[in-house]
Amino acid sequence: MSNVAYDQVEVGTAIPEQRFPIQRVNLIMYAGASGDFNPIHWNEPFAKAVGLPDVIAHGMLTMAEAARVITDWTGDPAALVDWGVRFTRPVVVPAEGGAELVVGGTVTEKLDGNRVAVDIEARSNGEKVLAKARAVVQL
């Protein structure tokens, strides 16, 4: 059950911004969990050879962290009933310092059945990494 009440949420309600550090070790752990061992996510020479600036985070990892902002806000992972994004830029993860993914959102529409639409903004290194990132949440 969601901790957020439908009647207390209005269009324009801000979803608290969160920051997610991403280190290369996180990419290795995600590769093991997901089975996605594409070398662009762990092998710097390979990533650069195929034209990337460095190793990049898995798109699904980026998408999952963005969804976590919604599930943390509601307090209920089952409240997220629809979720879609378009990837605009990769999250580049340098060996030194790693990367940071910054994610927040805004309620953009109240829907039937105690549902709301939330637009998500995700940035890394000051650049937008997701577009058309929209969640439907059952409150």
Domain ranges of the chain: 6-138
Q: Which residue has the tokens 């939330």?
A: 118
Segment holding 47, helix H or strand E: helix 44-49
Determine the 3-state secondary structure of 101 from DSSP: strand
Mean pLDDT of 73-96: 97
Determine the 3-state secondary structure of 25 from DSSP: helix
Per the prediction, the chain carries an average pLDDT of 97
pLDDT at 1: 75
Report whether pLDDT(18) > 90. Answer: yes
Nearest to 26 by CA among 83, 101, 78, 82: 101
Nearest to 57 by CA among 135, 138, 122, 132: 122
pLDDT in tens, 97-137: 999 999 999 999 999 999 999 999 999 999 999 999 999 99
pLDDT at 76: 96
Mean pLDDT of 60-88: 97
DSSP state of 5: -
Report whether pLDDT(95) > 80. Answer: yes
Q: Which amino acid would we find at residue 106?
A: T
Q: Quick one: CATH architecture of 6-138?
A: Roll (3.10)
The neighbour count for residue 110, using CB atoms within 10 Å, is 16
Determine the 3-state secondary structure of 54 from DSSP: coil
Q: What is the pTM of this model?
A: 0.93
